[in-house]
Amino acid sequence: MTTDAPATRIGDDEGRGSAGPPAGLHVKHLLGIADLSPDDITLILDTADAMKEVGTRAIKKVPALRGKTVVNLFFEPSTRTRTSFEIAEKRLSADTLNIAASTSSVTKGETLADTVLNLEAMSPDMIVLRHAASGACHLLSRICRSRIINAGDGMHEHPTQALLDAFTIRERKRRIAGLKVAIVGDLLHSRVLRSNLLLLPKMGAQVWVSGPATLIPPGIERFGVRATWRIEEAVEGADVIMMLRIQRERMKGHFFPSAREYFKIFGLTAARARLAKPDAIIMHPGPMNRGVEIASEVADGPYSVILEQVANGVAVRMAVLYLLAGEVATEAMPA
């Protein structure tokens, strides 16, 4: 293992100790970082440490979720997140099912609520939901028996992304508290931003956000962060720079004139990256628009942890699935 976090090696019976089953999360669903306490977050990150080790084994499997059914219900296209969840579920020995919106009854006019209730009638244990509408998971949590994991709801939250971001930061920097984290890009439309805005200050980081004035969310001061359209101010002395994706459709809403001008003023060039601390790490949730929000040389450079984020995503999602399953996983897990 790569951190000093308390060792909970999955499959190691001694790890459970005499206190009985490990402390679980006190939430039934993972709808957002908003519902998690700092202790919850630490528990998830510590569990993810142990899960990361599973990925290094020859047989990348533990039976924690054996016999459980997990449905990946994705109403928005996704490669990265869906694959990550699927691999995580399979490594925990769950039976997984992928449903994409284009093939679902939604095209026949069925409501979201009915689609999920019909699914539920077949007794899945957990539903991983990605949807274009903010609050879609909240709607379902009111009508579902299954545990719901939010894989991204509209512009609201993407909690597992923020958790894997935190894991990556903690792994590289040994801590989160006291770090200066700069988040740059289309802040207004980003659920990754909102989840990180909830998580990072909770864990003691000092957060700066930056982007064109047109894309800074109203009321940003109330999130306990510093906001500036001058990217240089945000990245100066930063320990972590997190870049967010720019969608070209935003040019239609008059948010910024062109990709060319965006890159000139707000893009993370090598020069701007040098304003940060010498050992600063560069992050991006992906997919990247090279040459728009980030220069290739930075994205591919030695300080970029973008691909590590992807690897960590599997471990973090395994941790979330494992902890939410809680009492579902009753047996000790052999190595």
Partner 1 sequence: MKTLFRGGRVVDPANGIDGRADVLIDDGTIARVGRDVPAGDARVIEVPAGFVLCPGFIDMHVHLREPGQEHKETVATGVAAAVAGGFTAVACMPNTSPINDNAGVTEFILGKAAEADLARVYPIGAVSVGSNGAQLAEIGELREAGCVAVSDDGRPIATALLMRRALEYTGMFGMPVIDHCEDPTLKADGVAHEGYHASALGLRGIPAVAEALMVERDVTLAELTGAPVHIAHMSVRGSLRAVRAGKARGARVTCEVTPHHFVLTDEALAGYDTNYKMNPPLREAADRDAMIEGIADGSVDAIATDHAPHHYDEKHVEFDVAPFGIVGLETAVPLALDRLVHAGHIGLSRLVELMSVNPARILGVPGGSLAPGAPADLTILALDHPVVVDVATFRSRSRNTPFNGWTLRGAVAVTIVGGRAKYVNPVVTGLDALKGRPSAVVREP
State the catalytic residues.
Answer: 80-81, 108, 130, 158
Token pair listed for 313: 């995503």
Residues 215/256, Cβ–Cβ less than 8 Å: yes
> CB 334 → partner 1: shortest distance, Å?
42
Q: Which residues bind partner 1 (CB under 8 A)?
A: 111-113, 131-136, 138-139, 153-157, 188, 191, 194, 217-220, 222-223, 253
Q: Which is nearer to partner 1, 41 or 188 (CB)?
A: 188
CA dist 135 and 226 (Å) reads 26
Residue at 331: amino acid letter: E
Q: Which is nearer to partner 1, 33 or 203 (CB)?
A: 33
Q: Which is nearer to partner 1, 156 or 202 (CB)?
A: 156
Please give the C-alpha separations between residue 89 and each of 8, 104, 310, 328, in angstroms, as whole numbers.
19, 21, 15, 14
Residue tagged 């770090």 (tokens): 179
> CB 197 → partner 1: shortest distance, Å?
9
> CB 136 → partner 1: shortest distance, Å?
5
